[in-house]
Amino acid sequence: MSEHTKPYEEKMKKSVESFEADLNTVRVGRANPHVLDKLTVNYFGAETPLSQVGNISVPEARMLVIQPWDANLLKQIEKAIQASDLGINPTNDGKVIRLVFPELTQERRKSLAKEIKKKSEDFKVAVRNIRRDGMEAFKKMEKKGALTEDELDTAEGELQKLTDKYITDIDKRFEAKNKDILSI
């Protein structure tokens, strides 16, 4: 790849990584500590990620245990979980918080599948927008004389190949997660 397409490849790669991180936060029936990645707790006046105020463990396939380093945070963690869209009621025993993941219903699985389909489409649009920005930048460079017509064609071709590659990557990750959701 040329030096012209390098910054756009980096942006596309970051979009795919962001999509993967988003997929990790989707609950699929098994206990996964990543479903708590977006949760924050007010810790000494600052919104702090849950993973930074306690230990999160998976003692069983359908259970997460959150043990805060400061016992005074138990109530705040409990409130944050209840206010989230996880749909799980936390159990507080005074020392730890337990989250028991119920079996997903068929209706909830279909809902999750639609949700991740929409996310995949959004991230594919983001990759295509990066391509469009690159194409526009290349055309401006050609008008200024920084690129020849042949170099423009080459750069646009490389950018299209990158776009196809990253969209295929998003599709593969979507299919894997969708299969995971629907096969539980």
Domains along the chain?
A: 6-24+105-182 (1.10.132.20), 33-100 (3.30.1360.40)
Which residue reads 């396939």 in tokens? 61
Mean pLDDT, rounded, of the chain? 88
Q: What are phi and psi of 102, to 5 degrees?
A: -75, 165
What is the reported pLDDT for 184? 59
Residues 6+ apart with CB under 8 A from 102: 62, 88
pLDDT in tens, 121-137: 999 999 999 999 999 99
Give the percent of the chain with pLDDT over 90.
Answer: 40
Do 123 and 19 meet the contact criterion of CB atoms below 8 Å apart? yes
- The residue type found at 43 is Y
Nearest to 54 by CA among 13, 101, 92, 102: 92
What is the reported pLDDT for 29? 63
pLDDT in tens, 15-65: 999 999 888 877 666 777 888 888 888 888 888 888 888 899 988 888 889
**Does residue 148 have a pLDDT over 80?**
yes
The model carries a pTM of: 0.73
Alpha-carbon distance 35 to 22, whole Å?
A: 9
- Of residues 104 and 93, the one with the higher pLDDT is 93
Total length of the chain: 184
**Burial class of 131 by CB neighbour count within 10 A (0 to 12, 13 to 18, 19+):** buried
